[in-house]
C-alpha cells in the first residue's frame, strides 16, 4: 500500500532543541515513537508544484 506522509514540526521530532530551550525533554507520543522506528524511504522531486503533481500522477 502506498502512503504519502506530510508532517508538521511536532516538538517530539526536535527533542534536543526543545530540551535546550525549555530545560525539559518532551515525551514522544506512542504513534510518533513507532513511526520513527520504521525504515525511511524517500524520493527527490524538483521543488515545484508541477513536478510534484506529475510525480504523483505517474506513481499512484
Render 6-52 in DSSP notation, one character per residue: -----GGGGHHHHHHHHSSPPPPPHHHHHHHHSPP------SSHHHH
Which percentage of the chain shows pLDDT scores above 70? 100
Q: How do the domains of the chain map onto residue ranges?
A: 11-59
Q: What is the pLDDT of residues 8-23, one digit of tens each?
A: 778 888 889 989 999 9
pLDDT score, position 58:
96
Amino acid at each position: 500500500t502506498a502512503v504519502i506522509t506530510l508532517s508538521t514540526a511536532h516538538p517530539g521530532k526536535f527533542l534536543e532543541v526543545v530540551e535546550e530551550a525549555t530545560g525539559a525533554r518532551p515525551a514522544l507520543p506512542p504513534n510518533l515513537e513507532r513511526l520513527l522506528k520504521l525504515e525511511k524511504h524517500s524520493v527527490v522531486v524538483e521543488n515545484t508544484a508541477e513536478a510534484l503533481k506529475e510525480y504523483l500522477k505517474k506513481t499512484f
